[in-house]
Amino acid sequence: MDSFYYRSCTPRIVALVRAWYLERDIFEAQRKQLSAAFGAEASAMRGIDSQYIGGLKLPPAPDLDVHWRQPDNCGLRNLRAAGQPPKGASKTERTAIRKEHTRLVELWQEHCPKRISSHSTWQQLGINTGNLWLSGGIMFELDGVAYFNLGFPINEHEHLAKVANHQPSYGWIEGAEEILSSAYFAARDHKDNRTAEEAAHAA
């Protein structure tokens, strides 16, 4: 699959990319809070343009089976719609299970972050999101510059011509200039190294 690399220093574009990464940071902080609330790691899953909580890494155990579905292929468990008392449970035990399940559901609702999606961000950047689903796209910001790795080319003149003729276009990112892959990956490595250093200092 082909890749095309771009960067833009346009303030509006940079602000949009920063806002998306801030949303991701908030999601990650909430994921950690969810893990702490349940005493088990909450696993973040990724879609083409989204992130969401896939479940908790809880071991198979009879006492957990009352409230949690069986582990999926990733070893993750999610709350049942309702507590499932074991056969032969007394009325008192059933009442206690319902009460505990209500507590778990409320705790989950309080701490579980909502699914986040970059779809709106890509739209505001000016990209045809249908092409993203087919060919993919990555964005990040470093030192006031927004970088993009797209699976399709963008060209301002071609975009404007197609829009004028009411034809579909890949879209256009304001202020974008095409760059070499080496420039893109040098910036990507710098970004990753800085993120790793910040995480180490925060630990």
Mean pLDDT of the chain: 95
Contacts of 50 (CB under 8 A, 6+ apart): 115, 116, 117, 118, 119
Residue 203 has pLDDT above 70, yes or no: no
Between 177 and 48, the more confident residue is 177
Give the model confidence (pLDDT) of 54-76 as tens digits: 999 998 888 899 999 999 999 99
pTM assigned to the model: 0.88
Give the model confidence (pLDDT) of 126-149 as tens digits: 999 999 999 999 999 999 999 999
Distances (CA, A) of 116 to 95, 123, 174: 36, 15, 24
CA-based nearest residue to 132, from 182, 171, 166, 183: 171
Sorting pLDDT into bands at 50, 70 and 90, what band is 179?
Answer: very high
